[in-house]
Amino acid sequence: MATLERLFHPRGVAIIGASTNPVRIGGAPVKALSEFGFKGRIYPVNPKYDAIAGLPCYDDVSEIDGACDLAVIAVPARATAGALRACAAKQIPFAVVLSGGYRESGDDGAALEDDVRRAVEETGIRIVGPNCQGVLNLSDRLYATFGAIANEPDMAAGPVSMAFQSGGFGFTIALLCEESGIGFRYLVSSGNETDITTPELLDAFIDDPGTKVAFAMVEGVSDGRALQAAGRKGAACGKPVIIWKIGNSETGARAAASHTANMTGSYDIYQAAFRQSGILEVTDVEALRDCFAVFGAGRLPKGNGVAVITITGGSGIAFADRAVAGGLQLPDLSDATTDALRCVVPVFGSVQNPVDVTANLFNEVENFTDAVDVVLGDPSVDQLCVLMASVSGATAEAVSGAIVDAAAKTDKPVTVAWSARRRNAEAAYRLLESADIPIIPTPVRAADASVALHRFAMSRKRLAADTGNSAPVIGHELPPGSGALDEQAGKALLRAYGIPVTEDRIIPLDGTIAAAVNGLTFPLVAKILSPDIAHKTDIGGVRLNIADGPALAEAAAEILDNARNAAPDARIEGVLVSEMVTGQECLIGVVNDDVFGPTVAVGLGGVFAEVLRDVTYRVAPFDAKVAREMLDELRGRALFDGVRGGAPLDVAALTDVLAAVSRLAWDGRDRIAELDINPLFVGADGQGVIAADALVVLA
Amino acid sequence: MATLERLFHPRGVAIIGASTNPVRIGGAPVKALSEFGFKGRIYPVNPKYDAIAGLPCYDDVSEIDGACDLAVIAVPARATAGALRACAAKQIPFAVVLSGGYRESGDDGAALEDDVRRAVEETGIRIVGPNCQGVLNLSDRLYATFGAIANEPDMAAGPVSMAFQSGGFGFTIALLCEESGIGFRYLVSSGNETDITTPELLDAFIDDPGTKVAFAMVEGVSDGRALQAAGRKGAACGKPVIIWKIGNSETGARAAASHTANMTGSYDIYQAAFRQSGILEVTDVEALRDCFAVFGAGRLPKGNGVAVITITGGSGIAFADRAVAGGLQLPDLSDATTDALRCVVPVFGSVQNPVDVTANLFNEVENFTDAVDVVLGDPSVDQLCVLMASVSGATAEAVSGAIVDAAAKTDKPVTVAWSARRRNAEAAYRLLESADIPIIPTPVRAADASVALHRFAMSRKRLAADTGNSAPVIGHELPPGSGALDEQAGKALLRAYGIPVTEDRIIPLDGTIAAAVNGLTFPLVAKILSPDIAHKTDIGGVRLNIADGPALAEAAAEILDNARNAAPDARIEGVLVSEMVTGQECLIGVVNDDVFGPTVAVGLGGVFAEVLRDVTYRVAPFDAKVAREMLDELRGRALFDGVRGGAPLDVAALTDVLAAVSRLAWDGRDRIAELDINPLFVGADGQGVIAADALVVLA
């Protein structure tokens, strides 16, 4: 989306409401733009002044006499809509609205924000904000901003672009990362996001040739699928989208009929949606900074094998603990590799992975170089981490030089875990930095970063093979109105999508069982049939294991009685009868999420879902391969392989049904609010699955 | 244990094998001791020199002519034992053996280490090492060390003491922490721990009045109970013991008969033992550094309520996410508090917790001071975290001053999350540091540190009430020999400890069932009785739900047949018969761990234990309160409260049985290698528990 190009690379910038006071929101950008190296033209606009900071000041935006692609709006909230219309009339395509006083400050402010929205819609001008802290492009030294960041003239340029709603926290994070060696491309505080939103910014970051890593901190987005699209696009072109989602401590209570909707928190869905679309999630600054460092270097591993070269045994062990926990392997090195290492590593070191070259080897840099070359050349090694402890001075410089040389001969990622004090090792730091070798202060964080590299590389492969689910729309006709369907109607919907359901008969309200048992084999199940009774078991509306006709008649009478007593106003249609089914109980559900739309849940039934909430999610629609990933995320996944001599379950049938449910949820997204298939019985391999109940709630 | 006092506070230090070369292990300590401010006497010992670094050099340790409490041994491995004997003869009570070349370098080295051990045992000299990087006491500027740390004359003194086996990694961690504001008391690289071990060092740290926080990095210890004792002692006097356990990525496969032993990894037990004894576990440097910061300040919260004062909404949310996940609450502030806040907080801020005072308030320090005072005074607030973002300059100084003043009026912990660049806020940093207000760079890390403070405070309370389990020894006579007991003998042991077991009868080898069924009510269970068949189900040795006498006879015959076919060499004693029991299946087990000795495991049965490994541990013996903590750690703990209308289970009976098993495991620690009670059936509240099987393996 090249359409934001001029926002980040304006030929000229107007500051509407410019001020001579450099701590005011109208003064800070004038000062920062004029002093920090911005090469474009700067047009302060304010009828009160003739000149600001040595620049001629314009009475009105219409008077601007040169190319201008961006307006910084620093006038009060009530004047903003007018200012935007004036900018649009002057053909200025973008504005950054720094002013506050909109919906964050009550009803009056919300009305002013509506005015701003109308100005945007009517003129076509695109805006960042309002109530934001501005936009920076550090490659062009564009500081369209105020506050602490406008006092940092020396922020390093680099390959990382960031968007964040909260300017104060976002810029604090940027400063922390910059302090530890990260350079930035675009920094955007998006504020109220009345027009340009986080997903659109991420998309623009990925399109930008100067950006290698795109990050956003979000409290919430309105269009979750746009966020996913940005993640997928980033994965496709090798630029990870990293997100820190804040605001997750509320458990998100819903008032819903289905079990799925009741147990699903919005953060669960965010996390699953991130995994589904290759988005990396972080939850603190250090992990984020380290991802910036390793992804900024631009190399990805081809597999899960990581080699470690260390000078202290303890740090190698700490790295291994964490790397293995994160899904990496420390592969055995080949005989050729260990033989070669034996020629250069002291006997009290180790030639096995983690390779302990001992502190001695740092004093014999030729041998160290050989060791790094040999390890990087081993075919089982997909990436390398060198643990340099706090080695300083000339030794650090020699070692760094050797690492830089070795890394230049390969495209495998090479990371250094190193914590020398900068003042004791400046030359070595510069060597590594100029060669784009990421430096991470501790072995554990280096392991986490290696894990992140691997995860993103795997996501890329997975997404490249992801065909989605473009099965044709079935168009099963749903009854009019809203509310729950009865079980029979719910099962009809499932059947239309090829999902096996039990063969059901109905005992009418007079209790005649003859037609119901015709062709069914005992034992049977009987359940109340009513669109108004979602939780049938709770009201005594279910009887299992019914052995014969007389027992069925008795059960039907009792169920009807129970239902009438418990729910006197419910529409009761009869008693549904079907054969007993066995197999592993599972639960499949659909919620129609405000952010992500129709989303499918799956879990193992019984205690797994109810006590452990062992449930996983994917945004619909998706194919059977994605469904398989869902199953692999369950803590109880071993059950699918058969436990204690049990047969493996029919996972192929289960994943087909999951994909079908995802299609159903997507096709019916305008009508279907919730859906539960609980229980779904999964048979042994080859024996299929069958839905024994269905609850569909229409919106 | 004041006995290590002179190790850390020697009146004089001899360097045996002193060198004029300051990068050699015999030269570095001479240089560091003489130049970095050590006030005691320094005695270089080496017949080759007359003087080193301006100090007279002694030909032999016997010639030392003043008080000397510590010898630094820097002679080759083969000369160390002799040097230690010479030191002992000179009445030097402690030595630090820097030399390497012992068991880490093969059999010859191991023999030399045995010589060292003998010298220690025979003379009574106490040693740190060998193969270590030395001992520092930064209060006394004692640098009995070599390597990178011996080139850091300005390491700050402070309240943190650290022990670590790996010198390279340990000192790297110390340097990283010191760089970010942590001061140290004692630093000990313990190397091979031939004499003085990590638990003894931790114990000495806790006894030291200058130490407020004790930390050890361990790969493993030989005496886990000594580690626990240090943790308990630290908790009793308010000094946390923090441990980073490395080397956990191997899953620790055991070859054992019992289910418990097979599924238990040694790291599981370490972690449980840490929790049990109030030890805080960390797994990376940042968390460790932050614990040093907050515990070094010396304040603990009284409850789980944390208040946040922030100037950016986003950081307050990020703090809350993590604090709540860690078990803290952000309590609602009282009406009086919010009323008072309304007088000083701008309307676009928030007077609810997290309190958003907005960046404006930093410019009105009197109002900010009022806000901090009011929040700290709220009775629901047990600790406070102020999120200062990256505020710098004079504003930071004023804000810091206000925080220092407010903190001085209370004993509640006050933590600051702040990441201003030091050069932009030096005065403010100094103000906070001199008042012992911990500074943590990010809100998320601050939340983690607040959680750690709360956990330790809770551990203190819990441990203060922990009575252990001093029930009298039962002294049940176990049969001689080793190997598994049969089920009957195993149950007899349980019964002796008051643990309810099923009433069992035996069908003899001739299959006569008459006596067996006498007094039992069908349905019955029949199981093979043999000390040689631990996994009865696997060989067809168990039949459940036997309805009547003929079925029992048939089942018994079949079981005997199956057993003879599957295990022709097994000693078969008959078929055990008992009534069917119902209830929630649980598993209780005992392993006799190499490090911690007898340790009890408990889990929910069936899929919980087998698929999810939802099992928790405590080192035996312990009382029923500790047993209750075990149950609360299970992921499936909700089952004890009753699920979907089920009755609550008899937790009191279960915890009593767990305490009894722990007593049994402790009493029998010399004989009992493993024990499984699987299944143990837990009835509804008031209906007790009953062990349906027992496997006891003697060592």
| Cβ(A346)–Cβ(A361) below 8 Å | yes
Residues of A in Cβ contact (< 8 Å) with B312: 166-169, 172
Closest CA to A29 of A69, A65, A71: A71
pLDDT value at residue B254: 46
Instruction: Collapse the DSSP code of B503 into the 3-class scheme (helix H, G, I; strand E, B; otherwise coil) and give the result.
Output: coil
Between CA B431 and CA B296 the distance in angstroms is 16
Do A390 and B165 count as a contact with CB atoms less than 8 A apart? Answer: no
What is the β-pairing status of strands A157-164 and A439-440? Answer: unpaired
Looking at residue A250, what DSSP letter applies?
Answer: S
Q: Which of B102, B131, B246 to mutate to test the interface with A (most CBs of A within 10 A)?
A: B246
- Sequence-distant (6+) residues with CB within 8 A of A104 are A131, A192, B348
* B102: enclosing H helix or E strand: none
Q: Which helix (H) or strand (E) holds B539?
A: none
If one counts every other C-beta atom within 10 angstroms of the C-beta of residue A644, the result is 10
- Both tokens of B630, joined, read 């075990």
CA distance B438 to chain A (A): 18
Distance CA B52, CA B14 (A): 12
CA–CA min distance A653, chain B (Å): 22
- In a 10 Å sphere around its CB, with 0-12 CB exposed, 13-18 middle and 19+ buried, how is residue A521 labelled? exposed
Q: Would you give the DSSP letter of residue B646?
A: P
Q: B312–A248: do the CB atoms touch at under 8 Å? A: no
How far is residue B589 CA from its own chain's centroid? 21
CB-nearest to A172 from B148, B389, B607 is B389
User: To 10 degrees, the CA torsion angle through B362, B363, B364, B370?
Assistant: 10
Q: Which residues of chain B have pLDDT under 50?
A: 1-2, 251-254
Which pLDDT does position B513 carry in this prediction? 85
Distance of CA B144 to the CA centre of its chain: 29
- A456/A214 Cα distance (integer angstroms): 13
> Is the Cβ pair B348, A286 closer than 8 Å?
no
CA atoms within 13 A on the CB side of A376: 23
Q: Quickly state the pLDDT bin for A256 (edges 50, 70, 90).
A: low
Q: Which residue in chain A has the smallest CA separation from B639?
A: A611
- Is the Cβ–Cβ distance between B460 and B235 less than 8 Å? yes
Residue carrying the six token digits 């024990």: B675
Q: Do A444 and B165 touch (CB under 8 A)?
A: no
Q: Which tens digit of pLDDT belongs to each residue from A98-157?
A: 998 898 888 899 999 999 999 999 999 999 999 999 999 999 999 999 988 999 999 999
pLDDT for A251 beyond 50: no
Query: Could you tell me which residue, A251 or B695, shows the higher pLDDT?
Result: B695
Position A160 scores a pLDDT of 98
Best of B249, B421, B584 to disrupt the A interface (most A CBs within 10 Å) is B249
| Chain B nearest C-alpha distance from A248 (Å) | 6
Site from A169, A171, A267 to mutate, B interface, most B CB atoms within 10 angstroms: A169
Tokens of A477: 């006709």
Across the interface, do B168 and A611 touch by the CB < 8 Å criterion?
Answer: no
ipTM of the complex: 0.93
**Rg of chain A over CA atoms, in angstroms?**
31
Give chain B positions within 8 Å (CB) of A608. Answer: 607
Chain A CB contacts of B171 below 8 Å: 390
| Exposed / middle / buried, residue B498 (Cβ in 10 Å: 0-12, 13-18, 19+) | middle
Q: CA of B250 to nearest chain A CA: how many angstroms apart?
A: 8
User: How would you class B348 by CB atoms within 10 Å of its CB: exposed for 0-12, middle for 13-18, buried for 19 or more?
Assistant: middle
CA distance B417 to chain A (A): 11
Spatial contact of A389 and A409, defined as CB atoms under 8 Å apart:
no
DSSP 3-state of B243: strand
**Min Cα–Cα distance to chain A from B167, Å:** 8
Distance from A332 to chain B by nearest Cα, in Å? 14
* pLDDT digits 0-9 by tens, A188-218: 999 999 999 999 999 999 999 999 999 999 9
At residue A129, the pLDDT reads: 93
Give pLDDT, residue A253.
39
How does DSSP assign B345-408, residue by residue? S-TTSB-SSSEE-TGGGGG-HHHHHHHHHHHHH-TT-SEEEEEEET--HHHHHHHHHHHHHHHH
Query: Rounded distance, CA B634 to CA B619, Å?
Result: 17
Answer whether B247's CB lies under 8 Å from B219's CB.
yes
- Residue of chain A nearest B165, judged by CA positions: A314
Predicted confidence (pLDDT) per residue in A571-597, tens digit = 999 999 999 998 999 999 999 999 999
Please enumerate, as own/partner, the contacts of A476-482 that have beta carbons within 8 Å and a separation of 24 or more.
A478/A668, A478/A671, A478/A672, A478/A698, A479/A698, A481/A698, A482/A673, A482/A698, A482/A699
Looking at residue B534, its pLDDT comes to: 80
Give the angle B676-B677-B680 at the CA atoms, nearest 5°. 155
Taking 50 as the threshold, does the pLDDT of residue A681 lie above it? yes
What does the radius of gyration of chain B's CA atoms come to, in whole angstroms?
31
Q: 3-class DSSP state for residue B643?
A: coil
* pLDDT surpasses 80 at A512: yes
Instruction: Specify which residues B528 forms β-bridges with.
Output: B575
Q: Chain A contacts of B638, Cβ < 8 Å?
A: 611
Q: Do A248 and B635 lie within an 8 Å CB cutoff?
A: no
CB atoms within 10 A of CB B121: 10
Rounded Cα–Cα distance for residues A360 and A345 (Å): 9
Tell me which residue in A148, A314, A320 faces B169 most closely, judged by beta carbons.
Answer: A314
Contacts of B89 (CB under 8 A, 6+ apart): B62, B123
B175 contacts on A by Cβ (under 8 Å): 390, 419, 421
CB A38, CB A142: distance < 8 Å: yes
Residue B665 CB partners (closer than 8 Å, separation 6+): B590, B592, B598, B599, B600, B620, B621, B672, B675
Contact B284 A635 (CB under 8 A): no
Query: Are the Cβ atoms of B610 and A643 closer than 8 angstroms?
Result: yes
- Geometric angle at alpha carbon A24, from A21 and A25, rounded to 5°: 130
Q: List CB contacts of B461: < 8 A, sequence separation 6 or more.
A: none
Decide if B77 contacts B52 (C-beta within 8 A): no
Q: What gap in Å lies between CA B154 and CA B171, rounded to an integer?
A: 14
The verdict on a CB contact (< 8 Å) between A607 and B100 is no
- Smallest Cβ–Cβ distance between B315 and the set A169, A313, A389 belongs to A169
B137/B155 Cα distance (integer angstroms):
10
pTM of the model: 0.94
DSSP string, A35-99: HTT--SEEEEE-TT-SEETTEE-BSSGGG--S---EEEE-S-HHHHHHHHHHHHHTT--EEEE--
Residue keyed to tokens 């029991």? B581
| Direct distance between the N- and C-terminal alpha carbons of chain A, in angstroms, rounded to an integer | 35
Written as one string, the DSSP assignment of B615-626 is EEEEESS--HHH
d(CA B604, CA B608): 6
Give the model's pLDDT for residue B359.
78
Q: Which of B589, B588, B559, B584 is nearest to B574 (CA)?
A: B559
| Ramachandran angles phi, psi of A528, nearest 5° | -65, 140
Helix (H) or strand (E) holding B142: strand B142-145
Three-class DSSP category at A386? strand
Contacts of B172 (CB under 8 A, 6+ apart): A312, A315, A389, A390, A419, B148
The pLDDT of residue B263 is 66
